[in-house]
Structure 1
Amino acid sequence: MPHPARLRLTLAKLAAIFPLELALHAVIVAVHPPYLVAVSLLAITTTALAIWVIEPSTMRLLRTWLHAPGHRVRRRTEAGLEQAPSLWRIRVTVADRAGALEQLTFGLAELGANILGLHVHPVLDGVRDELVVSTPDGVGPDELLEIVRAAGGREVHVWPTTTLALVDGQTTALSLSAQVVADPAELPHAVAELLGAQLVTDPKAFQGKPLPADGTILKIPSPWSGLYVFTRPGEPFTPAESARAHRLAEVAETARTLSRGW
């Protein structure tokens, strides 16, 4: 149960204790025992009855009234969570021309979507935009796909995401670079985390073979095994992401060389 408000709790305790105190004092005054006996009876009887009988009973009796404000706050909180905006990650290719991004953002605005993050990756046939958007409750991936395609987007992918997608990409890359410098063997795990990809456990199957045309396979040189292969099904790697992964491999190679020199 939510903790009751202080004023209501005080009033409830007064309501529980006052009748008891009044009744006991009336009995003591009527009987008129010796002073010490009267004080002892009042202290012991009032304390015992208040703690074990009267106060718990009153708390149960007034439970609805006591906890009402907390219940209202909790209901408002739960309602707010139910109506909280959803977060989505969108990847889309648009034409590399003036106004293309504006048309896309205008389409999203019609759905009430708010763009929280945007990364632009140049590709051969245009620009690959990666967006993190929040949408009102009730807007799903189908509506997002439809509006983005209507705005001229191609190769559209929409995934639900979390606030972790809003972490600054440059900060993440620097943190992973520091991790690789400290331990070059962390390179494959750092690249996988940087790109949100999976490490292929048998890279020999890809040696000497062309990459798939869908761009979902990425190869980078390894300072140890000669090759690391990463996959991200349904989400092609962009040239900018490939460049970041290769640069991270260069950092690992440099760190490995320096550590050997020392």
Structure 2
Amino acid sequence: MEHTEHTSTAVHTSATPTPSRPHRWRRDTVELAAVFVSVTAADLVAKVVVKGHDGPVLLAASAAALLATTLFHTWWSHRHHLHGPPPPAPVASPTALWRVRATVRNSPAGLAPVCTAFAERQVAIVSMQSHPLPEGAVDEFVLRAPHALTSTDLATLVTTGGHDLLDAPTRVL
């Protein structure tokens, strides 16, 4: 018969990393001492509440102290940003607006290749209008593209995506 050994691991929610194996007994000793202190304090409070004449007053004062501590901690954490400073804003590269008109055959997922080509070069579609034709449609895009992209670059993206240009891409801003 095989002998298997089961070990349990404690889940710690503290932000500090767990210490290495040789110093684990120190942490365990501190935690055990904290448990004994907590039990002793709870026993003392229970005895005062049950046997003392000021029991209800003590309970009310304890509740008020806990509430005041919670409110103070909430105020302090919001005022002093205990969670660290906000992340820096992303640096926006200069962009330009372009108008592009192209024809496309009317087929399922006909826009997908051109949208993929735009996304790969960090080109955002600000708006799009589709004008139906007897066979296909004319798509008119307003694009926000990196400043470094030229009219030729945008034309290549559109034709690579399966559209046929009606005219050269026009820079709006």
Give me the TM-score of the superposition, normalised by structure 2: 0.44
- Compare relative contact order (CA 8 Å, sep 6+) and give the higher one, 1 or 2: 2
Give me the TM-score of the superposition, normalised by structure 1: 0.30
Structure number with the higher helix fraction is: 1
